[in-house]
Amino acid sequence: MDNLKIGVLLSGSGTNLQAIIDAVRDDGLPVDVVCVVSSRPDAYGIERARAAGIPAVALNRDVYADAEAADARIVDELRDAGAQYVVMAGYMRKLTPVMLDAFPDRVLNLHPALLPSFKGAHAIADAYEAGVKVTGVTVHFANEDYDKGPIVAQRAVEVREGDALEDLEARIHEAEHVLYPQVLRLVAEGRVKVGEDRKVHILS
Active site annotation includes 122: no
- Find the helix or strand (DSSP H, E) in which 65 lies: none
Catalytic residue among 111, 140, 173, 177: 111
3-state SS, residue 159: coil
For residue 139, the tally of other CB atoms under 10 A from its CB is: 26
∠ at Cα 19 (154, 140), nearest 5°? 30
Contact yes or no for 139/128 (Cβ under 8 A): no
Distance of CA 23 to the CA centre of its chain: 15
Contact yes or no for 170/140 (Cβ under 8 A): no
Residue 1 buriedness (CB in 10 A; 0-12 / 13-18 / 19+)? exposed
Residues classed as catalytic: 111
